Structure 1
Amino acid sequence: MRTGVRRTVSRLAMAGWLFAVWLLLWGRADALVLAGGAVAVTAVYALTRLPAVPTIMRIRPLRLAEAAVEFAWDLLLSSLVIAWHALYRPRGVRGAVVEVDARTRSEIVLLAVTTSISLRPGTILVDLDWDRHVLYIHAMPVRSQRQADSARDGVLRTEHRLMRALVTSEDAAEQDVSTREDR
């Protein structure tokens, strides 16, 4: 998709999102609310410099469903591990900050990954270096290098699932370059 078309689609998506929030805030959709929403969205665009919304080229529904099921499974397992440590070994729980080099170059996939790992008990995003695509997560329980590597691998698996489910232009371009280099 050309840059101009991508930018237009991105702006329309952001305008649609702002308009939907406007309607939700008012709780009704009469002519005055609709007209006010159009004026408000136009004013927001005229007065501010909103960021571009990254576009998703393709959503793979089966991969997305698979990612959701695996996320639910990860959520269940991590909840059980944290509950067990909280009940039976509360003083023995150790945590660590783990550095994870993200493979994705898409901001929207990176956002989905950070949200996913922060929702899971036992892991939370501490810092994110957007320029280098490096995540720093606090994971627990971590008592050894093997457990730290396991936490890193869990984040990378989540990223891989989401990259397969949400195909973005940034990741598609990156995959095209890596495929050409492999030949």
Structure 2
Amino acid sequence: MNRAARRTVSRLLMGAWLLALWLLLWGRIDALTLAGGIVVAAAAYWASRLPAVPLVRKIRPLRVVVVVAEFLWDLLWSSIVIGWHAVYRPGRVRSAIVDVEMRSRSPLILLGVTTSISLRPGTILIDLPSEREVLRIHAMPVYDQQDADAKRAGVEQTEARLMRAFVTWEDSPPEEDR
């Protein structure tokens, strides 16, 4: 599928989503409500230049399960670590700003990575340049370079897992999956 076709399909998907929301708000489906929804969705697109919905070329369900399990484990473990530091070492917890280079150019993968790290206790996204090549995160606890490298590696692993689970048009699959 070429870029123009992907863009058209993604815009049609966003238009369908807006139409579905319109119909849900009205609570009924008839010819007038449907026609009004189409007009409103087209006007919203024209007036606001809504972004295209990122398309996925291939979804690997077992890899998605791994991504979800990894996220849940990270959520549990980071909660335990941050809770322990908050109770037993509240004045001695150190943090750092860590830069993480992104391999993916897909907005979908970027959204998954930033959401995942921001939902985990102890990390939060603090800067995302418009080029989307480097994420700057605030991480804790970080006491030395080894801890900072471990935080960076954790974000890179999350990105790699997402790239294996959702093969996007912007990215090629990681080397081991070719």
Does TM-score exceed 0.5, indicating one fold? yes
Deviation digits for residues 77-117 of structure 1 (CA, Å, limit 9, x no counterpart): 00000110111111111111100001111121011100110
**Distance (whole Å) between structure 1 residues aligned to residue 89 and residue 22 of structure 2:** 48
Any gaps of 5 or more consecutive residues in structure 2? Answer: none
**Distance (whole Å) between structure 2 residues aligned to residue 65 and residue 120 of structure 1:** 18
Cα distance, 1:9–1:141 mapped onto 2, change above 3 Å? same
- Alpha-carbon RMSD across the aligned residues, in angstroms, is 1.9
Match of 1:91 in 2: 91
**Distance (whole Å) between structure 1 residues aligned to residue 64 and residue 56 of structure 2:** 13
Name the structure with the higher helix share. Answer: 1
Q: How many residues align?
A: 175
The letter of the residue matching 1:30 is I
Match of 2:111 in 1: 111
Q: What is the correspondence of 1:6-155 to structure 2 with a 5 Å cutoff? A: 6-24=6-24, 26=25, 28-31=27-30, 32-131=32-131, 133-155=133-155
Greater than 4 Å deviation, 4+ residue runs: none
* TM-score, normalised with respect to structure 1: 0.88
**Distance (whole Å) between structure 1 residues aligned to residue 174 and residue 86 of structure 2:** 42
Q: CA deviation at 1:132?
A: 5.1
The letter of the residue matching 2:65 is A
Cα distance, 1:88–1:27 mapped onto 2, change above 3 Å? farther
* TM-score, normalised with respect to structure 2: 0.90
Q: CA deviation at 1:50?
A: 2.0
The letter of the residue matching 2:90 is P
Any gaps of 5 or more consecutive residues in structure 1? Answer: none
Cα distance, 1:78–1:23 mapped onto 2, change above 3 Å? farther
- SS of corresponding position for 1:125: strand
**Distance (whole Å) between structure 1 residues aligned to residue 6 and residue 93 of structure 2:** 47
- SS of corresponding position for 2:22: helix
Identical positions, percent:
58
- SS of corresponding position for 2:171: helix
Cα distance, 1:64–1:48 mapped onto 2, change above 3 Å? same
Q: CA deviation at 1:27?
A: 6.4
